[in-house]
Amino acid sequence: MKRRTFLAGMVAVPVAGCGLSGTSNSGSSAGGQVTGEITFQTWSLKPKYTDYVNGVIDAFQQQHQGTTVKWVDQPADGYLAKVMADASAGTLPDVINVPPDLSFPLAKAGQLVDLDEVARDAKPEYLENAWQAFEIPGQGGCYGFPWYLNTGPLFYNKALFRQAGLDPDKPPANFDELEQYALKLAEKNIAILGQTPSIADFGLYGVKLFENGEFTFNEPKGVELVESYKRMYDAGALIPEALTQNYTGAGTKFMAQQTAMNPGSAYDLGKFKTDAPSLYANIGITTPITNTGSANMFLHGVSVPKSSKNQATALAFGRFVTNAANQVAFAKLASIFPSTTKGGDDPYFTTEDGSDEARVRVAAAKQLKTAVNYTPVQFSDQMREALLQQLADAMLGKKSPKEALDAAVEECNRLLK
């Protein structure tokens, strides 16, 4: 799941007039009155969440008389290019929806307000790991109010496990066990996965990804991981499509029961039940594969550019849209989780009702408290493509795992400079 597209699977729920109000302190220590007009830009939230966002805006305007929030929603395609073009032209909106890796180049260029300086009292309201995700490593400062988070379980097909003679109630818990299970499944011509490892998988494995200003995932642990995947690929435990750079069909292969395991979201169960009932009857649910003890986390946030002519109002709105009440309401409409410290205490995320969906949702919410955004903020889409290409070469035997990772790291560091 690409970190910037995890909203694509958000559940569409019709929203009655929300009229949301928040009680969070939405003032700003930046100085200035909360008044006047600002522009708020989101990333592909229309039309599913039009009523929700309008409800938040209405509540903010009612709480702060004399304010006007103009909402602009940009499509997912081309969002990165749009934001960077606006940054170059000095025309960024007052509040922008960004993930950490998109906030990084803007913050590095000095274009975003440092929340550690102007809204430090807001920090305790958010999960520490979420706040840290918008910091620039080694430089300090936080450049985005954390907004919505996501993580999820690992799904597996119990029927395929039984077919390979594996215990369907004891799925792999770490990467060594993953390879053991993969090789057993491959003996029955069953692929375990539909993807090669992402940069986040290297983090989950325990690889040091970035140190002293450069990428380092070609260290021995990184090579170990690629060697493991190479053995799995050679045995037939990865589908051939996994080597294609733009391949996004791993989830479809899992639903068609052509692979035995796939990461997902708490909200995928409903799709399985509707679109793949035979899979749903044999679905296994387990925690993510990790050597570190911490799951991976995806997140988005909202940042305030220094170019905003109304920073006080922009900061107040950024804090308001991401407060606990508004985040919990949003999370109940979509396949996301709140990033606030109090949001996760809502019974919706702590209480099971006997359904699989609630069990997975509660487990995922608990998992988020210690989850890590393993993808370095410096890691761009170009770098992702370079890594995928080198991994494909390693799987095909064109390069050794060490040679492939050395080439990937060299290219990523070149792109970084």
User: Which strands make up the sheet holding 95-98, listed edge to edge?
Assistant: 67-74, 36-43, 95-98, 298-303, 145-150, 337-338
Q: Please compute the mean of the pLDDT values over residues 123-130 and round it to a whole number.
A: 95
Question: Which pLDDT belongs to residue 31?
Answer: 60
In order of start, what are the domains of the chain with their CATH numbers?
A: 6-149+298-364 (3.40.190.10), 154-294+380-416 (3.40.190.10)
> For the segment 305-356, what is each residue's pLDDT rounded down to a tens digit?
999 999 999 999 999 999 999 999 999 998 899 999 999 999 999 999 988 8
Q: What is the distance between the alpha carbons of residues 321 and 53, in angstroms, rounded to a whole number?
A: 9
> For the segment 221-275, what is each residue's pLDDT rounded down to a tens digit?
999 999 999 999 999 999 999 998 677 788 999 999 999 999 987 778 888 999 9
Mean residue pLDDT of the chain comes to: 90
Question: Which pLDDT belongs to residue 329?
Answer: 97
Query: Cα separations (Å) of 166 from 154, 158, 238, 257, 262?
Result: 17, 9, 18, 16, 17
> For the segment 151-181, what is each residue's pLDDT rounded down to a tens digit?
889 999 999 999 999 999 999 999 999 999 9
Question: Which pLDDT belongs to residue 67?
Answer: 98
Q: Given pLDDT bands bounded at 50, 70 and 90, which one contains residue 299?
A: very high
pTM: 0.86
- Which range, 75-84, 154-163, 262-271, 360-369, is most confident? 154-163
Q: Given pLDDT bands bounded at 50, 70 and 90, which one contains residue 30?
A: low
What are φ and ψ of residue 305, in 5° steps? -70, 150
Q: What is the distance between the alpha carbons of residues 417 and 411, in angstroms, rounded to a whole number?
A: 10
**CB-side exposure of 28: number of CA atoms within 13 Å?**
25
Is the pLDDT confidence value at 8 over 70? no
∠ CA 10-339-136 to the nearest 5 degrees? 110
Is the pLDDT confidence value at 366 over 50? yes
**Both tokens of residue 201?**
């998988």
Q: What is the distance between the alpha carbons of residues 251 and 7, in angstroms, rounded to a whole number?
A: 15
Q: Please give the torsion angle defined by the CA atoms of residues 245, 249, 254 and 258, in that order, rounded to the nearest 10 degrees.
A: -80
